[in-house]
Chains A and B, each alone.
Chain A
Amino acid sequence: MDLTLKIWRQAGPEAKGEMKTYPISGVEEDMSFLEMLDYLNEQLIDQGIEPVVFDHDCREGICGMCSLFINGEAHGPGRKITTCQLHMREFKSGDTIYIEPFRAKAFPIIKDLMVDRSAFDRIQRAGGFISVNTSGNTIDANAIPVPKENADKAFDAATCIGCGACVATCKNSSAMLFASAKISQFSLLPQGQPEAKERVLNMVNQMDLEGFGNCTNTGACEVECPKGISLENIARMNRDYLFASLSSNK
């Protein structure tokens, strides 16, 4: 198939970027979107043009590295998929495809379509963990009873791959879906209880410091999330934070 690609090109973090047009032919419908970009880059290299920089790693939908805002949606038009799981059969010959980086103040552009998502790492570091004694008498996690429903919900929250589609999609560039998933995966389990209050206070605080926007409950993040992380997590974070704020000694 023949396509017209409109791609954001930006030489570096401070450089001025612009949309550039690249016609491409010979794209096969079985190519993944990233393979199509590889194919484009091979041609650009042959022509002596700087290849398009984009993030990718596992290419099987579990690492969260591939990003891209394709035709106005994070990870393109599909649902519950990452960009590496988007295939060219979703498009037809003659289509014009807009490819832009994830846009947020907290996700600065490194080059072209590659953005720095380490703000997510800093939110995780602020409390997205449990402290476990490793002195040799560690308690087997399975020895602590967990209600099945809570275990399932915690697991669902833990499937968040931190790709940032929620931020990219949100009209406010809010990271609430990500933060709430990372908080919920612990707050639903007994192991997460000792640090529950500090966790939600510190992670929300870090999220605010990173410059993400606020939640308007549009629900766009849930729709575009490749892992289908539920808005229920945001409500859980909201009430955990409320109770923690009211009852915290600090």
Chain B
Amino acid sequence: MATTSKGLFGSSLARKYWMAATGLFLCTFLVGHLLGNLQLFVTGEEGQLAFNEYGKFMTTFPVVKILSYLTYASVLLHTIDGIMLARQNRAARPVGYVKENQAANASWASRKMALLGLLTLFFIVVHMRSFWYEMHFGTVGLDANGNKDLWTITVTAFEQWWYTAFYVVALSGLALHLSHGASSAFQSLGVNHPKYTPLINKTMTAFAWLIPAGFIAVAVFLFVVQPGQAL
């Protein structure tokens, strides 16, 4: 047999490996991000100073900087790879069915990964404009300790009902995206074993709903409590 190996680039399977690897890396990013956000449950000046100190650490500590560049690269690669996959998949069926009962054999989320992914990408752009851009390039006031006051920008944003509503919708979309993607990534990488797969699927499904629920809880808390008004 003459062998034709495309290595880890170019083949249909390789594209899925990259999708899975970047997706799983972004899952670990979500955990870190959520842990940081939980600090927003502490209100008042104490919460403000601690959160801004944390913000300074996250934008200056070298290890975190490296992780953040890996995160940007993963989002980019996941997006480009996803678009390439979706285009190929579309091209693989130039003429569609007149009647197609997809609900009979696959979950809604698993069939709408590209759509849910694009919604998440749109959210990331808005989200980064609101906070990341302000922190790095905007004019941000300083708190009592002389740190950039990211806390006030954050709590002010979530005082607006429409901003919180958009956030809840976007994070719900992310939950659906993860409800399929987080466990599916293991299958793409070839991890499927009768002993471990049920546990992996349960864990990743719980992850898919609980992590976005955590983000939503923080956002709704900020909207309800309006801690910015108290200062």
Partner-B contacts on A (CB < 8 A)? 6, 8, 19, 69, 71-73, 77, 98, 100, 103-106, 127, 169, 171-174, 195, 197-199, 201-202, 204-205, 207-208, 211-220, 223-224, 231-232, 234-242, 244-246, 248, 250
Cα A216 to Cα B107 in complex, Å, equals: 11
Specify the main secondary structure of chain B where it touches its partner.
loop
Question: Which residues in B have their C-beta under 8 angstroms from that of A232?
Answer: 192
8 Å CB contact of A214 from B3, B16, B95: B16
The residue of chain A having its C-beta at the shortest distance from the C-beta of B93 within the complex is A173
CB-defined A-B contacts under 8 Å, sample of 19: A6-B98, A72-B102, A72-B104, A127-B1, A172-B88, A202-B2, A205-B6, A214-B12, A214-B88, A217-B187, A218-B105, A220-B105, A223-B106, A224-B105, A231-B187, A232-B192, A235-B191, A238-B17, A250-B4
Cα A69 to Cα B190 in complex, Å, equals: 30
Q: Are A173 and B16 in contact (CB under 8 A)?
A: no
Cα A219 to Cα B106 in complex, Å, equals: 6
Cα A198 to Cα B34 in complex, Å, equals: 45
- Bitwise, B96-133 to A at CB < 8 A (1) or not (0) is 11111110111100110100000000000000000000
- Bitwise, B166-203 to A at CB < 8 A (1) or not (0) is 00000000000000100010011111100000000000
Closest CB of chain A to B25's CB: distance in Å?
Answer: 17
Which of chain B's residues 6-32 have a Cβ closer than 8 Å to chain A? 6-8, 11-17
Q: Are A250 and B187 in contact (CB under 8 A)?
A: no
Question: Which residues in A have their C-beta under 8 angstroms from that of B92?
Answer: 104-106, 172-174, 211-213
Question: Which residues in B have their C-beta under 8 angstroms from that of A246?
Answer: 8
Q: Are B105 and A202 in contact (CB under 8 A)?
A: no
Closest 9 CB pairs of A and B: A239-B190, A72-B101, A235-B192, A213-B92, A172-B89, A218-B106, A223-B105, A238-B190, A173-B92
8 Å CB contact of A213 from B89, B99, B111, B188: B89
Q: Are A103 and B95 in contact (CB under 8 A)?
A: yes
Cα A250 to Cα B101 in complex, Å, equals: 43
Closest CB of chain B to A174's CB: distance in Å?
Answer: 7
Q: Are B190 and A242 in contact (CB under 8 A)?
A: yes
| Given known A235-B192, A245-B8, contact A217–B101 (CB-CB < 8 A) | no
Cα A191 to Cα B3 in complex, Å, equals: 19
Q: Are A71 and B99 in contact (CB under 8 A)?
A: yes
Cα A104 to Cα B92 in complex, Å, equals: 6
Q: Are A73 and B104 in contact (CB under 8 A)?
A: yes
